Amino acid sequence: MKKRMNRLTAVILAVSMICMLPGTAVFAEDIAEQDVKAAAGIEDVSDADAEEAIGSGAAGGDVEEADGSESITDENVGDAAGAEELIEEDLERTDGLEDTADAGAAEAGGTQEAADENAVEVAGADDEVVEISGLSGDVFDDVNGGDWHVPYVSYVLNKGIMTGKGENLFAPSENLSRAQFATVLYRIAGSPNVGYSDVFPDVPDGKFFTMPAMWASQEEVAVITGYEDGRFAPGDMINREQMATMLYRYAEYRDWKEADETDEKEETEAAEADKTSGLDKFPDTWQVSDFAKEAMEWAVGAGIITGDGGNLNPLGNTSRAVCATMIQRFCEKFMPGELEDIEMSASCQNVSIGQTSVDNGTFWVRAEGVKASMDIQKIQAKVWCYEDDARWYTLEEQPDGSYGAEGSVTSHKVRFGTYYAEFYVMLGNGVRLYLNWSEAGIDGSEAQMRVLGHVNNIYNEVGRDLYACYMWVVNNVSYLRLPDPLEPPEGYTRAEWYAIMAYEQGQGNCYCYAAAFYFLAKGLGYDAEFIEGRVKLRSGGYNRHGWVIIHLDGASYICDPESTRDIGRYNFYMQPVDSPVMQYEW
C-alpha cells in the first residue's frame, strides 16, 4: 500500500511540475513566427497586378517605410526607435510554434475527404475544437496534415476569406500586409460595392486591394485608415496589436464590441477565468502601445488572442496562419453561422495515360468531361515512374473538348515500366483539387532515349537544319583513337554507343563522328545509313572508316564529318556517291 502511495505521489509531483512550465497553457496558433519571409505576398490573388503590388514589406515605390512600427493613423505609438528595438528583441526569441511542445497541440485532425455537407470537429491548438466542413486546409501543398493551423486554414478557406496565394499554396509562415488584412475584413463584410476615389496616393484603381481599402477607410467603417502623411501603405506589415485594433474597430462598426454571453456555460467559465482574461497575466504587457490597450484587452478577453509562448508579443508581425486563427475565433465568437461555405468541387468522366511511340518513348495523358464548381484555371497531371522523377504536365484543351499533353521518358530520367498519372483541376481561386488517376506501361530502349535527349538538345541549340547539325558535330567533337571495333555495353548498338561518346565526352574516332551525325539526320526525318566501311589511302591500301549516307530524291550522298574536320579544304558534306572526294567502300 505504501509503495502504491509513493508512486501516486511521484505522479502528482511530476504533473505539477509540468503544469508549472511556462507556455503550457497557451495556444500554438498566435505565434508571430521568427522564420517568416521578408517578402509580403499578395492575399489570395493570382493575377500579375497582385503579384507586383507588394514586394518586400514597404519597399514598393509608393510605399515608404513608416516612422514607427504602428500602421494606424491618429494613434501615438511613442518613440519609433524604441519600438523597433522591442520588435528585434521579440523576434530573437525561439521560433517554435506556441505550445507545440505539447504533442496535442501539434495534432490537427480533419481530412480532405470530409464531405461538404458534413461538419467535422477538429482539434486545433491546445485541443481547441474547431468545427469545419468542406475541404481540409492540408489541400494546400505547403500545409501538412499535422500542422497546428490546419483547422483554422480550413475554416478561412471554406468561408472564402483566405483562399491562398495561388498555385495551391497558402504560405502560412508569410507575414501579413495591410492590403491583405483589409481584403480579409472586406470579405468578412460580404465584399460590398464601393466607388473608387483617389483618397490615398498609393492606392490606384484596379488593384486587388483597391476596393478593400476604399471600404475600410470609409468614415462610417473606419477599420483601417491611412498614415498621417496620407498614405495607405498597402505593403506595410501588420503586427499583432494592429490586427487586434482593426478587429476591434470592425466589431464596433458592427456593434459587436460586447460578445453575446447567452451561453450559461460560457458565462460560468468566463467568471472562473476572470483573472486570466486581462493583459496582466502576460509579462510583456508593458509593450502594448497606448492606442492598442483597449483593443488588446478586448481581444484577450474574447479569446481571439491567447498568447505567444507565454507572452503577448504585441509588436510581433502576424503570419497568415496566425491571421487565420484569429479570424476563425472572431467569426465564431461574434457571427456564428453567418458565413456560408463556398462550393469548391470538380469531377471528370475519364482519365488515361497511354504510349504513343515506343521508338521515341512518348506518351499521352488525357482527361475527359472535366467539370468544376467555379472557373477552371488549368488542368494538370502529375506523372511519374519512380518518386524521384515526378513531373507536372499542364493539359491543353483539344478539338474534341478533352484535355491532353504529351510526355516523354526523357523527362523522367529515361525510365521504363509502369507510369502513374494523377489528374487535378486548379480552380480559379488557385486551389488544386484531385480528380482521378491512371497507369500504363511505357516501353522503349534506354539507349534510344539517351541518344534522343542529346539530339533534341542539339536541335534546340542550332535548329532543325541538316547542315547546321553536321557542322555542330565537326566543331564540337575532337578526335580520339579507340579500339576498333568498339564493343558497346549491353542494350546499346555500336552506333548508339559511338554517338553517346561523341555527345557526352565530346571526342571519339571516325565512327563517333558518323554516329553522332547519323542520329541527328534521322531525327530530322532523313533516310540515313550509318556505315562502317573503309577508304582508300594515298599510300595504297585501305583503312577502316565510318561515315553516313543520305538517300534523297532518288540519289545517295556521303557525309563524312571526321574528314571535314581533318581535311577541311575539301567538301565532305553531301558528296554524290558516284563521284566522292575519296574512294569509299562498304
Residue pLDDT, tens place only, 233-254: 999 999 999 999 999 999 999 9
DSSP-assigned letter for residue 530: E
pLDDT band for position 127 (50/70/90)?
Answer: low
pLDDT band for position 571 (50/70/90)?
Answer: confident
Is pLDDT at 201 greater than 90 in this prediction?
yes
Check residues 378 and 36 and name the one with the higher pLDDT.
378
pLDDT band for position 463 (50/70/90)?
Answer: very high
Q: What's the pLDDT tens digit per position in 443-460?
A: 888 888 889 889 989 999
Q: Do 167 and 430 meet the contact criterion of CB atoms below 8 Å apart?
A: yes
Q: What's the pLDDT tens digit per position in 183-192?
A: 999 999 999 9
**Predicted local confidence at residue 124, as pLDDT:** 56
Q: What's the pLDDT tens digit per position in 411-443?
A: 887 788 999 999 999 999 999 999 999 999 998
Residue 225 identity (one-letter amino acid): T
Other CB atoms within 10 Å distance of the CB of residue 43: 29
Domains of the chain: 12-97+175-334 (no CATH), 346-443 (2.60.40.3760), 447-585 (3.10.620.30)
**Predicted local confidence at residue 450, as pLDDT:** 87
Give the integer Cα–Cα distance in Å for 463 and 203: 48
Q: Do 310 and 283 meet the contact criterion of CB atoms below 8 Å apart?
A: yes
**Predicted local confidence at residue 232, as pLDDT:** 94
**Predicted local confidence at residue 84, as pLDDT:** 32
pLDDT average, residue stretch 385-408: 95
Residues with Cβ within 8 Å of residue 502, at least 6 apart in sequence: 473, 477, 508, 512, 513, 515, 516
Q: What's the pLDDT tens digit per position in 308-321?
A: 889 999 999 999 99
Give the integer Cα–Cα distance in Å for 79 and 191: 37
Is pLDDT at 514 greater than 90 in this prediction?
yes
Q: Do 433 and 344 meet the contact criterion of CB atoms below 8 Å apart?
A: yes
**Predicted local confidence at residue 130, as pLDDT:** 64
Check residues 484 and 188 and name the one with the higher pLDDT.
188
pTM of the entire structure?
0.63
Query: Closest Cα partner for 57 from 66, 49, 48?
Result: 66
pLDDT average, residue stretch 467-476: 96
pLDDT average, residue stretch 302-307: 92
Other CB atoms within 10 Å distance of the CB of residue 76: 9
Parallel, antiparallel, or unpaired for β 527-536 and 432-442?
unpaired
DSSP 176-223: PBHHHHHHHHHHHTT---------STT--TTSTTHHHHHHHTSTTT-S
pLDDT average, residue stretch 136-164: 96
| Span of 23-37, 264-278, 375-389, 465-479 with lowest mean pLDDT | 23-37
**Predicted local confidence at residue 126, as pLDDT:** 56
Q: Which residue has the cell 461574434?
A: 334
Q: Do 380 and 350 meet the contact criterion of CB atoms below 8 Å apart?
A: no
Q: Do 552 and 558 meet the contact criterion of CB atoms below 8 Å apart?
A: no
Which cell numbers in the block locate residue 395? 493539359
Give the integer Cα–Cα distance in Å for 200 and 355: 58
Other CB atoms within 10 Å distance of the CB of residue 307: 21
Greatest CA separation found in the chain? Answer: 113
Q: Which residue has the cell 516612422?
A: 67
Q: Do 87 and 316 meet the contact criterion of CB atoms below 8 Å apart?
A: yes
Residues with Cβ within 8 Å of residue 79, at least 6 apart in sequence: 68
Q: Which residue has the cell 505539477?
A: 16
Q: Which residue has the cell 500554438?
A: 28
* For the ranges 8-12, 58-62, 440-444, the one whose mean pLDDT is highest: 440-444
Give the integer Cα–Cα distance in Å for 296 and 303: 11
Is pLDDT at 128 greater than 60 in this prediction?
yes
Phi–psi pair at 240, nearest 5 degrees: -65, -40
pLDDT average, residue stretch 278-285: 90
**Predicted local confidence at residue 229, as pLDDT:** 93
**Predicted local confidence at residue 491, as pLDDT:** 85
Parallel, antiparallel, or unpaired for β 478-479 and 507-508?
parallel
